[in-house]
């Protein structure tokens, strides 16, 4: 089957379950006004950011194939990005956080393919190609930051979500789509806004994913670097917002030293940020990331890790001290003295070692779930995993032996040993029984009529994380949202306006600018679209460069349009650009 996106040295390494999020960049749907918005924002950004952004930004634009003049083609970006070991793919708006992080772990930038409208030229509530391409891409040309981004994705994709996190993702996705769509009603937006606020007030304790998303927000999206007194911008949200990039450096926005505490500071994606964090350098980002990773179930495991997976209600993995990995939907844990003594999954489950599925232990075999005791045998100091063949024989754990294993905490396994499964180093990981009964107090956990019982071996859970151990074990993980980005329906009048934008673009690109051409477009613009300030700016720019007399008339119209407060600053900044 032919791929719906371009494969190269980087993207061909992406696991198949991520392919469903990738869409074909709708380049033909970008209007000439979209192109003008891109050009305006980029020219303004480059002019301003060369003074206030991290030094990697300007040189990174060239290194990542970002042009000021036109919206980038994904294929063109990829040809250049591969030189620094990265790639970019087009997606439809927000994708689930775990999937977003996993793309990043594979050195792939996900780029929302939509383009902000002129009404949201300063700041867009929805991810768009200005934010993703012109914001994220340039800084990854810095090798130290690029490694931080990759490592963040690697760790972040293992963060465990709560069951409410996905609800919040869907609610924010819908709100951002509605806010960006000019045809949305105020009532639709209000209902979606209220839904987000209700969820924000009812999230409870922040999950690992919520916390690491906070860290991502305050660094990758809205990070400042340097000193509190004189910070520079490196976060993509700021680099792509001509409004916030200037406002964020004023005293109105509180600046705080970046630390692990940022993980507990939540954000509202639909509003400008009231405070920002400043890191002294990119090395500090990696240090804080490692500090956070040390607090995750990924590195701590234990009872708390299993409970997080149960609460998440999605596929997760626990790794035992033997290296055995159990992946599935965890639904129950029995605890004793604050330790897990029995874990249970429901539905399709897979077993793995070193992220590779064990032969014969995939989801087809463990279709109904998997349960196993954890810990040491009662009254025996040596854990099963550390027993030599002689020890195993002494304690009655060998092939063909009817045996009873009683674990600390009260789990009892009674059955006939069939065989054991060991890893390459000889450590036993699984023991299979027939005619087996597993009980806890008066409760039956496994009945002989259910078939062969495979018991995991491990004295403790050393790791618990989101997603399967082997990416090949489960077909579908991380579902694609059913809420799709709205495609704007343009009226015939809109199309007439965009045709004028295209004319002016052609004049500029083909170096075919005459005063008569400018006059003709200006007259039509004045009659049919008297409030369109951006095309008027483009005409003014061309007239200045050619020193046409019509520039005075165009400037007068621009000055009149400045009476509208929503245009005033945009026009003023545009006039300065035109004169540079």
| Intra-chain end-to-end CA distance of the chain, in Å | 52
Q: Do 327 and 384 have their domain in common? A: yes
Question: What percentage of the chain reaches a pLDDT higher than 70?
Answer: 97
Tell me the sheet residues that pair with 456. Answer: 430
Write the burial class of residue 553 (CB in 10 Å: 0-12 exposed, 13-18 middle, 19+ buried). middle
Measured between alpha carbons, how far is 285 from 295 in angstroms, rounded to an integer?
Answer: 16
CA 410 – CA 341 distance, rounded (Å): 8
Quick: pLDDT tens for 387-396. 988 999 999 9
- The number of folded domains in the chain is 3
Position 6 in a domain: no
Q: Are strands 324-336 and 339-353 parallel, antiparallel or unpaired?
A: antiparallel
Task: Assess if residue 377 is contained within a domain.
Answer: yes
Is residue 520 domain-shared with residue 404, that is, in the same domain?
Answer: no
Q: 330 and 423: one domain?
A: yes
pLDDT at 4 (0 to 100):
60
* Total residues belonging to the chain: 580
pLDDT in tens, 336-351: 999 999 999 999 999 9
Average pLDDT of 493-505? Answer: 95
The tens digit of pLDDT for each residue in 35-81 reads 999 999 999 888 889 899 999 998 888 788 788 999 988 888 888 88
Is 411 domain-assigned? yes
Sign of the torsion formed by the C-alpha atoms of 265, 269, 275 and 278: positive
Give the pLDDT confidence of 466-478 residue by residue, as tens digits: 999 998 898 776 6
Based on the fold, state whether residues 457 and 496 are members of the same structural domain: no
Is 2's pLDDT higher than 60? no
Q: What's the CA gap between 504 and 215, in Å, rounded? A: 43
Q: Are 377 and 407 in contact (CB under 8 A)?
A: yes
Stretch 343-363: mean pLDDT, rounded?
96
Domain C-terminal end among 466, 482, 510: 466
Q: Are residues 422 and 551 in the same domain?
A: no
Question: Residues 9-37: what's their mean pLDDT?
Answer: 90
pTM score of the predicted model? 0.87
Structural element, H or E, at residue 188: helix 186-200
Residues 119-139 have pLDDT tens digits of 888 777 677 888 888 888 889
Averaged pLDDT for residues 219-234: 95
The answer on 529 and 452 residing in a single domain is no
Q: Residue 374: left (phi > 0), alpha (psi -120 to 50), or beta?
A: beta
Confidence band (pLDDT; 50, 70, 90) for 542?
A: very high
CATH number of the domain residue 141 falls in:
1.10.800.10
Q: Is 49 helix (H, G, I), strand (E, B) or coil?
A: helix
Which H helix or E strand runs over 342? strand 339-353
* Calpha distance 521→536 (Å, rounded): 9
* 170 and 267 belong to one structural domain: yes
Give 269's DSSP letter.
T
- Domain assignment present for 474: no
Query: For 391, how many CA atoms within 13 A lie in the half-sphere containing its CB?
Result: 11
> 246 to each of 243, 260, 369, how far by Cα in Å?
6, 26, 55
Residue 83 has pLDDT above 90, yes or no: no
Distance of CA 119 to the CA centre of its chain: 26
Calculate the average pLDDT of the chain: 90
Neighbours of 175 (CB within 10 A): 24
Residue 1 has pLDDT above 50, yes or no: no
Residues 429 and 531 in one domain: no
Q: Is residue 16 part of a domain?
A: yes
Residue after which a domain boundary falls, among 290, 324, 354: 290
Closest CA to 46 of 24, 66, 18, 64: 66
Q: What percent of the chain has pLDDT over 90?
A: 62
DSSP state of 514: -
pLDDT band at 427 (very low <50, low <70, confident <90, very high): confident
The predicted model gives 296-301 an average pLDDT of 97
Phi-psi region of 302 (alpha: psi -120 to 50; beta: other; left: phi over 0): left
Same domain, yes or no, for 261 and 395?
no
Banded pLDDT at 296 (limits 50, 70, 90): very high
d(CA 384, CA 397): 9
- Is 480 inside any structural domain? no
CA-based max dimension of the chain: 102
Q: List, in sequence order, every beta strand (DSSP E) within 157-300.
A: 224-226, 231-233, 254-257, 275-279
The answer on 181 and 88 residing in a single domain is yes
- What average pLDDT does range 549-562 have in this prediction? 93
275 shares its domain with 335: no
The answer to whether residue 547 scores a pLDDT higher than 50 is yes
Q: Residue 527 — very low, low, confident or very high, per pLDDT cuts 50/70/90?
A: very high
Determine, yes or no, domain membership for 391.
yes
Q: Check pLDDT > 70 for residue 481.
A: no
Say if residue 333 is in the same domain as residue 280.
no
- Give 182-225 pLDDT, tens digit per residue: 778 889 888 988 888 888 777 778 899 999 999 999 999 999 99
pLDDT digits (tens, 9 = 90+) for 245-288: 888 999 999 999 999 999 999 887 767 788 999 999 999 999 99
- Which domain, by its residues, includes 363? 308-466
User: Does residue 2 belong to any structural domain of this protein?
Assistant: no
């Amino acid at each position: 089957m032919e791929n719906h996106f371009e494969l190269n040295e980087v993207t061909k390494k992406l696991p198949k379950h991520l392919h469903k999020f990738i869409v074909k960049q709708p380049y033909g749907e970008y209007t000439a006004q979209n192109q003008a918005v891109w050009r305006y924002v980029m020219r303004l950004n480059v002019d301003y950011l060369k003074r206030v952004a991290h030094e990697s930004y300007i040189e990174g634009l060239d290194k990542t194939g970002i042009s000021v003049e036109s919206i980038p083609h994904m294929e063109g970006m990829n040809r250049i990005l591969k030189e620094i070991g990265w790639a970019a793919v087009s997606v439809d708006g927000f994708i689930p956080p775990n999937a977003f992080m996993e793309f990043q772990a594979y050195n792939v930038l996900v780029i929302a393919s939509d383009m902000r409208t002129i009404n949201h030229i300063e700041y867009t509530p929805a991810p768009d190609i200005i934010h993703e391409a012109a914001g994220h891409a340039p800084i990854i040309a810095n090798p130290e930051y690029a490694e931080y981004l990759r490592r963040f994705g690697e760790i972040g994709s293992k963060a465990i979500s709560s069951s409410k996190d996905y609800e919040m993702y869907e609610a924010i996705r819908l709100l951002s789509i509605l806010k960006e769509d000019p045809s949305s009603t105020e009532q639709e937006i209000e209902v979606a806004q209220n839904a987000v606020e209700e969820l924000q007030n009812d999230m409870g304790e922040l999950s690992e994913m919520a916390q690491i998303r906070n860290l991502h927000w305050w660094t990758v999206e809205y990070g400042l670097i340097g000193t509190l007194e004189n910070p520079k911008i490196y976060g993509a949200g700021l680099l792509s917002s001509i409004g916030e990039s200037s406002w964020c450096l004023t005293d109105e926005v509180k600046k705080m030293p970046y630390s692990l505490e940022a993980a507990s500071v939540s954000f509202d994606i639909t509003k400008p940020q009231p405070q920002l964090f400043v890191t002294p350098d990119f090395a500090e980002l990696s240090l804080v990331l490692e500090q956070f990773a040390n607090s995750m179930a990924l590195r701590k495991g234990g009872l708390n890790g299993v409970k997080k997976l149960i609460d998440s209600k999605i596929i997760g993995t626990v790794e035992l001290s033997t290296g055995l990995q159990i992946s599935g939907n965890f639904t129950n844990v029995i605890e004793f003295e604050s330790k897990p003594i029995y874990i249970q999954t429901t539905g399709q489950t897979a077993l793995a070692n070193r992220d590779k599925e064990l032969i014969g232990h995939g989801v087809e075999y463990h279709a109904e779930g998997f349960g196993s005791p954890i810990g040491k045998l009662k009254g025996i100091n040596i854990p099963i995993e550390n027993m030599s063949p002689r020890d195993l024989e002494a304690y009655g754990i060998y092939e063909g032996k009817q045996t009873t294993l009683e674990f600390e905490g009260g789990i009892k396994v009674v059955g006939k040993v069939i065989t054991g499964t060991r890893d390459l180093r000889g450590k036993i990981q699984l023991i299979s029984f027939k005619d087996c009964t597993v009980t806890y107090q008066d409760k039956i956990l496994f009945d002989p009529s259910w078939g062969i019982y495979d018991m995991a071996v491990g004295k403790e859970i050393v790791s618990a994380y989101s997603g399967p151990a082997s990416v090949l074990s489960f077909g579908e993980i991380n579902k694609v949202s059913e809420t799709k980005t709205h495609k704007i329906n343009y009226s015939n009048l809109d199309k007439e306006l965009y045709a004028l934008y295209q004319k002016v673009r052609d004049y500029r690109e083909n170096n075919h600018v005459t005063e008569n051409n400018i006059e003709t477009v200006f007259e039509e613009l004045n009659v049919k679209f008297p409030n369109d300030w951006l095309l008027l700016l483009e005409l003014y720019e061309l007239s200045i460069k050619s020193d046409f007399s019509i520039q005075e008339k165009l400037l007068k119209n621009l000055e009149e349009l400045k009476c509208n407060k929503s245009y005033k600053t945009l026009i003023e900044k545009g006039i300065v650009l035109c004169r540079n």
